[in-house]
Amino acid sequence: MLNNKLDNYNLILASGSPRRQQFFKELGLTFEIRLKPIDEDYPNRLRHFEISDYLAQLKSLPFKAELKENDILITSDTIVWHNETALGKPKDHQEAFDMLSSMSDATHEVITSVCFTTKNSQKTVNAVTKVVFKALTENEINHYINTFKPFDKAGAYGIQEWIGQIGIINIEGSYTNVVGLPTHLVYKTLNTMTI
């Protein structure tokens, strides 16, 4: 349905995330994948969705010069916000363990920002989802990290994996946002861009 409206556009997804790529397929979108490396550094003054907005926009910069008139570049970033701190991707087992321990028996927020860049404009949207973990045992946390190796995931977990099935007791907001892409916002934004 949306794909028909996008007939005259070339969608470029700048993400190596298999989850984001799968969501685009499930939305029925025709798209190409283009990847460029970038240092995901941000100013310390930024808080909450300002961080993911900034990083999603930062990821678009290497592509700006090569965008053509009918291109829509989509970049995205997900962070976990907990105790007034942004949790990114853990560097090792200990960091993953510390992150999951801190979120045990507590509520955190998952924030994903999506940036839509054309040759002449840019629009950034974001979604915030509240997630509550039960009290996780050390054995559960270690089993999850050893089995699923969540080092490519913000906050050291994937909601769609074992830890989500046994540990998450409540979610308020978009589920797909926690997986890594607020698909309802992507759909809505692309619809408004192609009127």
Give the catalytic positions in this structure. 77
Q: 121-143 burial, b for 16+ CB within 10 Å, e for fewer? A: eeebbbbbbebebeebeeebbee
Non-local (6+) Cβ contacts of 34 within 8 A are 12, 13, 14, 63, 73
Token couple for 69? 């008139």
Report the distance separating Cα 41 and Cα 160, nearest Å.
27
Phi, psi of 132 (to 5 degrees): -115, 125
Parallel/antiparallel/unpaired status of strands 85-87 and 71-82 = antiparallel
